[in-house]
Amino acid sequence: MAEEKSLNFIEEIIEHDLKSGKHTSIATRFPPEPNGYLHLGHAKSICLNFGLALKYGGKTNLRFDDTNPVTEETEYVESIKGDVKWLGFQWAEELYASDYFPQLYEFAVTLIKKGLAYVDDSTSEEMAAQKGTPTQPGTNSPYRNRTVEENLVLFADMKAGKYPDGSKVLRAKIDMAHTNMLMRDPVLYRIKHAHHHRTGNTWCIYPMYDFAHGQSDSIEKITHSICTLEFVPHRELYNWCIDNLEIYPSRQYEFARLNMTYTMMSKRKLLQLVNEKYVTGWDDPRMPTLSGVRRRGYTPEAIRDFCDRIGVAKRDNLIDISLLEFCVREHLNKIAARRMVVFDPLKVVITNYPEGKTEIMTSENYPDDHANVREMPFGRELYIEREDFMEVPVKKYFRLSPGQMVRLKSAFIIKCDDFVKDANGTVTELHCSYIPESRSGNDTSGINVKGVIHWVNAQTAVPVEVRLYDRLFHVEDMSSLEDDFRNHLNPDSLKVLPTVYAEPELAKAKLGEHFQFLRMGYFTLDTDSTAGKLIFNRATTLRDMWAKEVKK
């Protein structure tokens, strides 16, 4: 099948580079800073970077951009590696910007020797004042004309730890009147007497992003350095460093980051949600983190498919979260074993079924594979969903109501003969009769019913907990917010049902398995589960045309 798939703009650039002979193979990198957990926005970048290398026969490095010791931790490194692997990608090399600190230092010395960098004693306030504004040029620092010799000594002393944090920086000497603010003598190195997660206390000066990223790309001979749009203005500085250092010319290309409705995807704010306990952790199933959606029951296949469908372009976007849910359902529908679980039980007594009798019914695990079945006990007393009975049925309601019949999935057709109410008027019990000839598989009753409902046998039902999730925020476009994002948390984002009734087979569930609870949604076992108490997370609901019908 020669499926003609159109190329995104980066693929076009790569194919052009390959065709023209500029490159014979490509190298990309995924460069997270280990200061938080990966989220769906990172997934887009991961799929892009690794996907490109896979498609064009190149390689992708995993490179940690660890140039700021105060925010970075080993915990994050480990989670990031786990998430990339879970998504299904394998990096060529695991690298760290901190591995390049010695070389980066030498690069800085080279720039000083060329008269292209100087040590500045200005305070950050003074530097900000010198910087100008986007519409007004900046002014030169009084330290700008220090000699090469003086700068060399000062920079060496910075490295040697002779100065306190913030007292000096190394700046590039470019142009304080440049229209690109980033070219107004950007800071290259700053002093931080801080412990680094890998280099420990070896260094007290650390390179800034702009002095580390491009050079790291260059050292690794990355051909296409792909990042998000906010780095567009950095490209000029990226190229300036490479040009003046005369090193391998990696090239930067920028695409639009993923934005999704009802979703907040800023690492800083996600950290805030974690720290301030609005969620239980980075892997809270409501979080858009990869560890969160994994725990919730999303699959890597679904996320890769999603990343594929959203495309890659340069314009700002706001993806409808229903596309993600569609991808999740589409994959889960194929792989999830079916189970029956009653959430809000209503007792049903089959009055014409012998007391004490239990028989075994079989039900298919997957709708289109009738050979793959499990066993389910059936008895005189059952639970069905309270929702599946209406004393006074609304129009088009084809479940149970007085005198009406439904099919119990994989069992018998039953007819509602009577119901019992308590003092409050709440229905507590249904009295039904079953049609013995209607047994699933050899139904000779000739009766056709429209409604099919799920059920569990009361005697053998297994109590489990389910956790139902809704969107964390109730604002469609989080970027439109003018006040604090924490004011817009959805109070109903988590609903716990401590005791619901499952068919016995579900007790065998293992971590990582996916289930469809018939008519209730897709579920997976939560990591909080213990041997005595199984807890299931709802990944997503099923599509529900009836709910829409009812709304009308």
Tell me: does residue 131 bind RNA (CB under 7 A): yes
Beta bridge partners of 430: 348, 419
Shortest separation between residue 281's beta carbon and RNA, angstroms: 22
3 state SS of 174: coil
Half-sphere exposure of 420 (CA within 13 A, CB side): 10
Task: Confirm whether 33 is a catalytic residue.
Answer: yes
Closer CB to RNA, 277 or 548, in the complex:
548
Closer CB to RNA, 284 or 468, in the complex:
468
Shortest separation between residue 418's beta carbon and RNA, angstroms: 21
Tell me: does residue 175 bind RNA (CB under 7 A): no
Q: How far apart are CA 260 and CA 393, in angstroms?
A: 39
- Short-list 207, 210, 198, 197, CA closest to 159: 207
Beta bridge partners of 522: 516, 540
Closer CB to RNA, 152 or 232, in the complex:
232
Contact 277, 504 (CB under 8 A): no
Q: For residue 136, give the DSSP letter.
A: B
User: Which one of residues 62, 414, 453, 478 is an interface residue with RNA (CB under 7 A)?
Assistant: 453
Piece in contact with RNA (CB under 7 A), picked from 78-86, 163-171, 456-464, 528-536? 163-171
x-marked contacts with RNA along 331-370 as a string, rule CB under 7 A: --x----x----------------------------x---
Q: How far apart are CA 69 and CA 130, in angstroms?
A: 27
3 state SS of 471: coil
Number of shown-chain residues binding RNA (CB under 7 A): 92
Tell me: does residue 391 bind RNA (CB under 7 A): no
Tell me: does residue 139 bind RNA (CB under 7 A): no
Tell me: does residue 8 bind RNA (CB under 7 A): yes
Annotated catalytic residue, options 44, 59, 267, 399: 267
Shortest separation between residue 40's beta carbon and RNA, angstroms: 14
User: Which one of residues 2, 19, 21, 135 is an interface residue with RNA (CB under 7 A)?
Assistant: 135
Chain centroid to Cα 24, Å, comes to 34
Q: Which of residues 401-430 bind RNA (CB under 7 A)?
A: 407, 409-410
User: Which one of residues 182, 287, 472, 534 is an interface residue with RNA (CB under 7 A)?
Assistant: 182
Shortest separation between residue 491's beta carbon and RNA, angstroms: 24
CB count in 10 Å sphere of residue 200: 9
- Short-list 461, 475, 182, CA closest to 348: 461
Closer CB to RNA, 135 or 424, in the complex:
135
Piece in contact with RNA (CB under 7 A), picked from 154-162, 307-315, 349-357, 459-467? 307-315
Tell me: does residue 373 bind RNA (CB under 7 A): no
Piece in contact with RNA (CB under 7 A), picked from 145-153, 438-446, 462-470, 490-498? 438-446
Tell me: does residue 546 bind RNA (CB under 7 A): yes
3 state SS of 420: strand
Shortest separation between residue 242's beta carbon and RNA, angstroms: 17
Tell me: does residue 143 bind RNA (CB under 7 A): no
Contact 472, 490 (CB under 8 A): yes
Token digits for 381? 């007393």
- Short-list 332, 454, 441, 443, CA closest to 382: 454
Tell me: does residue 372 bind RNA (CB under 7 A): no
Shortest separation between residue 199's beta carbon and RNA, angstroms: 13
Tell me: does residue 304 bind RNA (CB under 7 A): no
β strands within 136-178, DSSP E: 169-172
CB count in 10 Å sphere of residue 113: 13
* Per-position DSSP letters for 359-371, written without gaps between them: EEEEEEEETTEEE
Piece in contact with RNA (CB under 7 A), picked from 104-112, 322-330, 350-358, 485-493? 322-330
Task: Confirm whether 467 is a catalytic residue.
Answer: no
Contacts by residues 158-163 (CB-CB < 8 Å, ≥ 24 positions apart): 158/119, 158/189, 158/191, 158/204, 158/205, 159/105, 159/203, 159/204, 159/205, 161/193, 161/204, 163/191
Contact 18, 268 (CB under 8 A): no
Residues 6+ apart with CB under 8 A from 396: 549
Task: Confirm whether 257 is a catalytic residue.
Answer: yes
Closer CB to RNA, 284 or 385, in the complex:
385
User: Which one of residues 33, 99, 175, 470 is an interface residue with RNA (CB under 7 A)?
Assistant: 33
x-marked contacts with RNA along 52-71 as a string, rule CB under 7 A: -------------x-xx--x
Token digits for 40? 């769906």
Tell me: does residue 199 bind RNA (CB under 7 A): no
Annotated catalytic residue, options 144, 257, 409, 471: 257
Helices (H) and strands (E) in the chain, counts: 13, 25
Q: Which of residues 78-117 bind RNA (CB under 7 A)?
A: none
Contact 463, 454 (CB under 8 A): no
Q: Which of residues 11-30 bind RNA (CB under 7 A)?
A: 12
Closer CB to RNA, 110 or 122, in the complex:
122
Tell me: does residue 466 bind RNA (CB under 7 A): no
Q: Which residues have a catalytic role annotated?
A: 33, 257, 267
